[in-house]
Amino acid sequence: MQSLKLAHTSLNRRRRTLERSLVAQRERAVEDAKFRARQAQGKLRRFVQINFRKEEVAADLELRRGDCNRCGACCEILFKCPFLKKHADGSSTCGIYEDRPNQCRLFPINKRDIQEVRGTCSYYFIER
């Protein structure tokens, strides 16, 4: 009887651990989906800004400071760009650097863009 009780307690403990793990997994999946949605929105926003709101882009870029650390994170927003080349030292280069689109050339345009690369961008923005 005692051993049955112990087995039941052990099963309950395992079930609770599994449930917690599933909840954590689901939360990570939701966070990841939200992050990807933000990235998709950002790609679209930058496309519109760069092509139709050039003055706004110029004003935003005046507030940008810092330099590119060549982490390549902006080349992997939503998907990995086929022209991105990763090196053993952790840096990256662009296979079409001289001819890269303006969306790549001007990244990041503002603070919101930096939130799309999980904190690896070395640029920052000052307040107006």
Q: Contact residues for ligand SF4 (CB under 6 A)?
A: 68-74, 107, 117, 120-123
Minimum Å distance from CB 29 to ligand SF4? 25
Whose Cβ is closer to ligand SF4: residue 24's or residue 90's? 90
Question: Which tokens hold the place of 68?
Answer: 């590119």
Residue 55 Cβ, how far from ligand SF4 at the closest point, in Å?
22
Are the C-beta atoms of 87 and 93 separated by less than 8 Å? Answer: yes
Closest alpha carbon to 56 in 41, 46, 43: 46
Q: How far apart are CA 77 and CA 39, in angstroms?
A: 6
Nearer to ligand SF4 (CB atom), residue 10 or residue 122: 122
Which residue's CB is nearer to ligand SF4, number 53 or number 115?
115
Residue 48 or 68: the one with the smaller Cβ distance to ligand SF4 is 68
User: Residues of 95-105 as b/e, b for ≥16 C-beta within 10 angstroms?
Assistant: eeeeebeebbe
Burial class (CB within 10 angstroms; exposed 0-12, middle 13-18, buried 19+) of 20 = exposed
